[in-house]
Amino acid sequence: MPKDQQENGRRVAVVGGGISGLTAALRLRLLGHDVELIEADETLGGRFGVGRLGDRAVMTGGKNIGRRYETFRWFTSELGVDSYESFGYNASRVKDGRVLTLDSERRGQTLRNIRRMGSPRDLARLAAMAVRIRADASNRFLGSRYFGRISRRHDNAPLASYFGPELTDALIRPMVIRNNGAEPDEVYPGTFGTNLAMLLDHYDQLSGGIQPALDAMAERVRVRAGARVERLVRDRRGHVSGLAISEAGAPAEIHDYAGVVLATPAHATAAIVAETEPAMAERLRGVRYFPSTVVLVEYDQPIFTSDVRALAMDDGPCSNAGSYGKEERHIVRYTYSGNRGGRLVDPTPERIDKLTTESEALLVKHLGAPRATRLNTLTKHWPAAYSGYLPHHPVFLRRLHEDVVSLPGLELAGDYLQGVSIEACARSGRAAAGRLAAHLGGAAR
Ligand SMILES: Cc1cc2nc3c(=O)[nH]c(=O)nc-3n(C[C@H](O)[C@H](O)[C@H](O)COP(=O)(O)OP(=O)(O)OC[C@H]3O[C@@H](n4cnc5c(N)ncnc54)[C@H](O)[C@@H]3O)c2cc1C
């Protein structure tokens, strides 16, 4: 029994040990419920991508935490692991032989660089969205009223048609590749607020990475790792009453729960509900996901400078090369996302080695980086790294909400509900927990 587990709550399950599930589990626990956190992998963290580079713990997935990430910061503060260090938003791109840098700590220079990138009409459109995002926090997430209007008017064509080619190429493309792993013709204007909100934030990183938070969670709730949820179980009234869970590859067994939060990506959620809710599963399968590969390389000397810490590479071999930390500029994170950014299907070590060599040559050419020696390499491939959502996403969200309302005892969390950022996922988890607690009769906090 985890430390100070209360006995007066109901037995509930949260499926998925990523940030969506972790926040849902923590909130349910704080509301007094007996929480079981079920994770298919052997370790918690999901797309934080915890791993090892040489002898140090690293994260190959999400690790930049915005100053506006209120829910995620609530989560780390509740767990007592909230020591952050500044990282900033620093992204450079080579245009006509010049390195243009967008840096959240150099607003003036960043605005001048953005002005060079687009037509007055484009800049006006971008500015109008930015003003709305600053004025109303709901515009940072999917499902807001303002972006709902944009979606109704403009989602018949992809984002690539909303802004002109110059701004799309210079600014929009690096943003959606970075945040959705998608090209601008694969995402839609109605979801662009989630991207722009990320550009408008300033970033920190957890000083000790995410592992201390994962360890603290394992103290708070019961963790069932290496356990794959196969399907929902409903009682005679149609209420969700349990889950079929397969552990270590054994045939699935039924476990009873008073309530369930599925905090898994849309495709995984679809697989879990498919047998009992085929129409809902079909809807969830429509949500688009894009792959990404991240390669971390540790060198014997710094590659980046403090002014330029990331370079978007427009036509490959990777989509982006950036330093791992503000001070850890000897570790480079190469990301392969998007069609032109070397989207990889099956990254073999030979292919990664060749692409890394080509990327290194570009860093030498454009940034004057030193010819350094590689000490350690870690590769992580996600076949479905980021959600790119759907055109007319608010319509999808409305219909999905109707599906869920007809299934008492079930709540959903995940990257396709409010957005892919760690904050959007954390918000979805915290909100799902509050709704489930209200259903179970607990007071939402
Ligand atoms: C390379 C990369 C870099 C990123 N960088 C940033 C960043 O710097 N800042 C930022 O804000 N965001 C970033 N993101 C986005 C963010 O990290 C993710 O969107 C977020 O972590 C997703 O969390 P999640 O809990 O919704 O999903 P996941 O982390 O994927 O968690 C879902 C979990 O469910 C488990 N699961 C699935 N099916 C089942 C099943 N049937 N039974 C049991 N368990 C199951 C999975 O194993 C997984 O652990 C990044 C994403 C990637 C891929």
- Name the pLDDT band for 113 (thresholds 50, 70, 90): low
Cα separations in angstroms, 100 against 40, 88, 161, 307, 387: 42, 16, 24, 11, 28
pLDDT of residue 178: 87
- Quote the ligand 1 centre to 12 CA distance (angstroms): 21
Query: By three-state DSSP, how is residue 389 classified?
Result: strand
Instruction: Ligand 1 pocket test: pick from 206, 323, 422, 423 the residue with the most ligand atoms within 8 Å of its Cβ.
Output: 422
Instruction: Ligand 1 pocket test: pick from 47, 255, 273 the residue with the most ligand atoms within 8 Å of its Cβ.
Output: 47
In 3D space, the residue among 78, 44, 404 whose CA is nearest the CA of residue 259 turns out to be 404
- Quote the ligand 1 centre to 356 CA distance (angstroms): 25
Which pair of structure tokens corresponds to residue 386? 């980021």
- Any atom of ligand 1 within 6 Å of the Cβ of 184: no
Residue 134: which residues within 8 A CB-CB, separation 6 or more? 200
CA distance 365 to 384: 32
Query: By three-state DSSP, how is residue 115 classified?
Result: helix
In 3D space, the residue among 413, 412, 415, 427 whose CA is nearest the CA of residue 384 turns out to be 415
pTM for the full predicted model: 0.94
58, 9 in Cβ contact below 8 A?
no
- Quote the ligand 1 centre to 8 CA distance (angstroms): 31
382, 47 in Cβ contact below 8 A?
yes
- Any atom of ligand 1 within 6 Å of the Cβ of 64: yes
Residue matched to tokens 């904050």: 423
pLDDT of residue 367: 85
Closest-CA residue, ligand 1 atom 53, reads 385
CA distance 394 to 194: 13
* DSSP secondary structure of 1-34: --TT--SSS-EEEEE--SHHHHHHHHHHHHTT-E
Q: List the 331-336 sheet strands across, edge first.
A: 98-103, 90-95, 310-312, 320-323, 331-336, 288-299, 374-389
Residue 288: which residues within 8 A CB-CB, separation 6 or more? 182, 186, 387, 388, 389, 390
- Name the pLDDT band for 109 (thresholds 50, 70, 90): low
Q: Taking the alpha carbons of 31, 84, 201, 294 in that order, is the dihedral positive or negative?
A: negative
- Any atom of ligand 1 within 6 Å of the Cβ of 204: no
Q: What is the pLDDT of residues 51-73, one digit of tens each?
A: 999 999 999 999 999 999 999 99
Residue matched to tokens 């085929």: 278
278, 34 in Cβ contact below 8 A?
no
Q: For a pLDDT cut of 90, what percent of the chain falls above it?
A: 74
Ligand 1 atom nearest to 44, measured from its CA: 49
CA distance 105 to 224: 42
Closest-CA residue, ligand 1 atom 26, reads 414
- Any atom of ligand 1 within 6 Å of the Cβ of 21: yes
- Quote the ligand 1 centre to 111 CA distance (angstroms): 32
Q: What is the pLDDT of residues 69-89, one digit of tens each?
A: 999 999 999 999 999 998 866
100, 93 in Cβ contact below 8 A?
yes
CA distance 262 to 40: 13
- In DSSP terms, which residues pair with 313 in a beta bridge? none
The one-letter code for the residue type at 13 is A
Instruction: Ligand 1 pocket test: pick from 175, 264, 411 the residue with the most ligand atoms within 8 Å of its Cβ.
Output: 264
- Name the pLDDT band for 4 (thresholds 50, 70, 90): very low
Closest-CA residue, ligand 1 atom 51, reads 62
CA distance 24 to 428: 8
Q: What is the pLDDT of residues 151-195, one digit of tens each?
A: 999 999 999 999 999 889 888 988 898 899 999 999 999 999 999
Ligand 1 atom nearest to 335, measured from its CA: 1
- Quote the ligand 1 centre to 38 CA distance (angstroms): 14
* DSSP secondary structure of 134-200: HH-GGGGSTT-HHHHHHHHHHTTS-GGGTS-HHHIIIIIHHHHHHHHS--TTSS-GGGHHHHHHHHT
- Quote the ligand 1 centre to 159 CA distance (angstroms): 24
Ligand 1 atom nearest to 64, measured from its CA: 8
- Any atom of ligand 1 within 6 Å of the Cβ of 429: no
- Quote the ligand 1 centre to 332 CA distance (angstroms): 21
- Any atom of ligand 1 within 6 Å of the Cβ of 63: yes
